[in-house]
Amino acid sequence: MASKESSVTALQDSVDLAFEGKNIRLPVVRGTEDEVAVDIAKLRDTTGLITLDNGYGNTGSCQSAITFIDGDKGILRYRGYDIAELAEKSNYLEVAWLLIHGELPTAAQAAELRNSVTRHTMLHEDFRRFFDALPKQAHPMPVCAAAISTLSTFYGEKETEAEIQDGIVRLLAKMPTIAACAYKHSIGQPFMYPRNDLDYCSNFLRMMFATPCEDYVADPVVARALDLLLILHADHEQNCSTSTVRLVGSSKAPLFACIAAGITALWGPLHGGANQQVIEMLDDIAREGGNVEKFVARAKDKTSGARLMGFGHRVYKNYDPRASILKKSCTEVLRKVGGGKGETARLLDIAMRLEDVALHDEYFISHKLYPNVDFYSGVIYKALEIPSNMFTVMFAMGRLSGWIAQWREMRRDPTFRIGRPRQVYTGPALRAYVPLSKRG
């Protein structure tokens, strides 16, 4: 119930709640884009009530100045900058700086970041033994999570500002090397050392695709497409993996361990793992003769257990702005890298037809299900010849900067507390212990 003086929406600054004779006035918190939240910090102390919010769809876990999303209008901004403008004009390392530090870097700061990231890309040689210990068929996501977590065994865990800055640079620098090593390990090829004369994405592509017998020179179109994907994935406010990073970080676990937890959360098919599933779904449709309508019908049938991967989003109920940017980029990339023919073109054609059928289907319209960022990213990765088990790793490489920014914001917040949700217990009430001899 809204308080009397707050019944005029523009002035509403509190909400009154009455429960079993106890009254509480809950303050309303307003964000810079006028989004509103009821601050329930005193709710339990005053009324004994807690809130129950399955999947946290109505719960704000923090106040944050990093990313703004308006899911109804399809808006995504990093530190106030529109995602489309950043995608067009910026580059990944600059966006990483923006997310972490709050402002675009000056020319000197950008040069310093590029330089320090470039000079920290090598892994400790002992990492070879780490990779050697893992099975070849391991999915690169848990390999990356384990490798990032292992960084805390190589570097200091003190939380001085200097150590934190070093940790941030090491993460940004070593993540592409770790990702490429995870891939090389899985196909049994020798690891390629990073090269300091290459930019961030060209260096990664070379570590993925060169061998000691044959060098690889990244096509600038491919490197730019990858950079764009990293920008689009860089942050997305309090999603599953970011909330995981914050929750783990709230125990004051070291940065590397928190990022490893984020990678693990991202792996799931309902989150970052969806991009791999999208391409597998498109492959399935292609194998079954390209019958898109049949697949849409299956996705609508709840008993089938199938979903249209790459469709739907917890916050975007109109369109995902990242998907719009990628759809445009997808056709351009395919044209430029020669993927306009053959298997990739066939998958893109199926993706376009799938999107068209779904967007005109009553079920998808009424459920507000639109293509999300993962829908087109898989097709682009395929055109760039990134293997499908590496798609989610690409996502993690991009999201890394957002995780770092969110972790840092949380740790610097003066109101910082360990995250500790409550629950409504539904198990048995108190009962007496039954000795083994008396149990059925």
Q: Does 274 bind ligand ACO (CB under 6 A)?
A: yes
Query: 49 Cβ partners below 8 Å, 6+ apart?
Result: 19, 43
- Interface residue with ligand ACO among 93, 151, 260, 299 (CB under 6 A) is 299
Residue 374 annotated as catalytic? yes
Q: Which stretch binds ligand ACO (CB under 6 A): 28-36, 301-309, 411-419, 431-439?
A: 301-309
Residue 313 annotated as catalytic? yes
Query: 35 Cβ partners below 8 Å, 6+ apart?
Result: none
- Interface residue with ligand ACO among 311, 376, 391, 403 (CB under 6 A) is 311
Q: Does 206 bind ligand ACO (CB under 6 A)?
A: no
Structure tokens at 346: 């066939």
Using a 10 angstrom Cβ sphere, with 0-12 exposed, 13-18 middle and 19 or more buried, the burial of residue 272 is buried
**Candidate list 199, 313, 320, 361, residue with the active-site label:** 313
Structure tokens at 385: 């010849």
First CA to last CA distance, the chain: 52
Closest distance to ligand ACO from the beta carbon of 130 (Å): 29
Q: Does 307 bind ligand ACO (CB under 6 A)?
A: yes
Classify strands 67-70 and 75-78 as parallel, antiparallel or unpaired: antiparallel
Q: Does 308 bind ligand ACO (CB under 6 A)?
A: yes
Build a one-symbol-per-residue string for 355-374: x at contacts with ligand ACO by CB under 6 A, - elsewhere: ------------x-x--xxx
* Element spanning 82, H or E: strand 81-82
Closest distance to ligand ACO from the beta carbon of 308 (Å): 4
Q: Does 270 bind ligand ACO (CB under 6 A)?
A: yes
Q: Which stretch binds ligand ACO (CB under 6 A): 68-76, 163-171, 253-261, 266-274?
A: 266-274
* Maximum pairwise Cα distance, the chain: 79
- Interface residue with ligand ACO among 271, 327, 382, 408 (CB under 6 A) is 271
In sequence order, the β-bridge partners of residue 28 are 38
Structure tokens at 143: 């390999």
Q: Give whichever of 165 and 304 is closer to ligand ACO, judged by the CB atom.
A: 304
Residues in 34-73 at the binding interface with ligand ACO, rule: CB under 6 A = 55
Build a one-symbol-per-residue string for 372-391: x at contacts with ligand ACO by CB under 6 A, - elsewhere: xxx-----------------
Tally of CA atoms within 13 A in the half-sphere of 128 that contains its CB: 7
Q: Give whichever of 118 and 329 is closer to ligand ACO, judged by the CB atom.
A: 329
Q: What angle do CA 234, 306, 293 make, to 5 degrees?
A: 100
Q: What is the DSSP letter of 242?
A: H
Q: Which stretch binds ligand ACO (CB under 6 A): 94-102, 167-175, 186-194, 268-276?
A: 268-276
Residue nearest to ligand ACO (CB): 312
Number of residues that bind ligand ACO (CB under 6 A): 19
Q: What distance in Å separates the CA atoms of residue 83 and residue 16, rounded to the nearest whole number?
A: 38
- Interface residue with ligand ACO among 309, 351, 379, 386 (CB under 6 A) is 309
Q: Does 399 bind ligand ACO (CB under 6 A)?
A: no
Q: Which stretch binds ligand ACO (CB under 6 A): 24-32, 265-273, 335-343, 346-354?
A: 265-273
Q: Does 174 bind ligand ACO (CB under 6 A)?
A: no
Q: Does 397 bind ligand ACO (CB under 6 A)?
A: no
Closest distance to ligand ACO from the beta carbon of 357 (Å): 12
**Candidate list 235, 320, 361, 374, residue with the active-site label:** 374
Overall size of the chain counted in residues: 440
Query: 339 Cβ partners below 8 Å, 6+ apart?
Result: 333, 345, 348, 382, 383
Q: Could you give the residue ranges of the DSSP H alpha helices within 20-160?
A: 43-47, 83-89, 92-101, 107-118, 127-132, 140-154
Residue type, 371: P
Closest distance to ligand ACO from the beta carbon of 265 (Å): 10
Residue type, 123: L
Residue indicated by tokens 């000795």: 435
- Interface residue with ligand ACO among 184, 206, 224, 313 (CB under 6 A) is 313
Q: Does 312 bind ligand ACO (CB under 6 A)?
A: yes
Q: What distance in Å separates the CA atoms of residue 285 and residue 289, rounded to the nearest whole number?
A: 6
Closest distance to ligand ACO from the beta carbon of 266 (Å): 8
Using a 10 angstrom Cβ sphere, with 0-12 exposed, 13-18 middle and 19 or more buried, the burial of residue 166 is middle
How many angstroms from the chain centroid is the CA of residue 316? 15
Binding site for ligand ACO (CB under 6 A): 55, 270-272, 274, 299, 307-314, 367, 369, 372-374
Residues classed as catalytic: 313, 374
